[in-house]
Amino acid sequence: MSCVLISSVRNLLFRPCDRPLCLSYLIRMGKRSFSEAMEDGITTGKRAAAVQAVDDHVRDNQVVGIGSGSTIVFAVERIVQRVKEEKLNLVCIPTSFQAKQLIQEHNLTLGSLERNPELDVAIDGADEADANLDLIKGGGGCLTQEKIVASCARDFIVIADSRKDVDKLGTTWKRGISIEVIPLAYKPIKLKIEKQLGGLANLRMATKKAGPVVTDNGNLILDWVFEEARSYDWEKVNVTIRSIPGVVETGLFIKMAKMLYFGTTDGKVKTRSAPWLTPDTQPSAHKTETNGRSK
């Protein structure tokens, strides 16, 4: 990226010109080029993590949970490629309207939890993951269906770019923990959370419509921005929030993910297994380290 930028600047500086080149233009161009390079690197990481996870865990004759968000798009693309090349027979269970659309647009077999209540594997993204593989999810508003599908899978596998890999929840994700709530109860729930746990529980507002975000289930979302300086037992926090009448589900995924794949900007993939796993609960399709992946 730096070589391309230097070359571009050189061409601009020494081009024939009737007036001096504006320095502010060069600065803007440099910022834009850097931003574009960063986005390209993030995309590279997402794709690498998705491809590796699908290759490691998706097998013929499986029922597969399809997560939501930007990273899962690359997982679906890889699944489609493998279905065509290997003639895989898969049934795909969506976690959201977006996931359902992806499955249908790519002509994959669409299933449901009514017909397929037990899944072999579910693959989904995350907003953040800590050292224990506890997750914050729900930035896209699909937390309840995502958690239901993940809970039905024998193996829940998470894919993300390396920015999401943190030691402590809240390190990089500053939008809080998503909580899906029954509409009539959002205000009492907000007050109870703030009183019991501190921080602020904000009603998530829509950006392209007037009023709040409405989930696929017809509910509202509170984003609880917790106190960063405070130490939380996330398992207890999850139980506390879910015990409040009117709460449907939280975006805390505690002891659910068995394995995480983090893609870096240079296309490498780092994997982590949950520390609470036993030999009997290891992912069934778990592989040892392969080429192009480092642990």
In single-letter form, the type of residue at position 179 comes to: I
Q: How far is CA 275 from CA 38, 44, 104, 279, 289, in A?
A: 31, 27, 36, 11, 18
pLDDT of residue 9: 43
pLDDT of residue 2: 47
pLDDT of residue 210: 94
Among 39, 77, 146, 228, which one carries the catalytic annotation?
146
The yes-or-no answer on residue 146 being catalytic is yes
Strand ranges, E, within 128-258: 128-129, 135-136, 153-161, 177-181, 200-203, 220-225, 247-250, 252-253
Chain-centroid distance of CA 61 in Å reads: 26
End-to-end CA distance of the chain: 27
Chain-centroid distance of CA 172 in Å reads: 13
pLDDT of residue 39: 75
Note the pTM of the prediction, 2 decimals. Answer: 0.84
pLDDT of residue 40: 83
Question: What's the average pLDDT block by block, 10 residues per block, for the chain (295 residues)?
Answer: 47 47 56 67 95 98 97 98 98 97 98 98 97 96 98 98 94 96 98 97 95 97 94 96 98 97 96 92 65 40
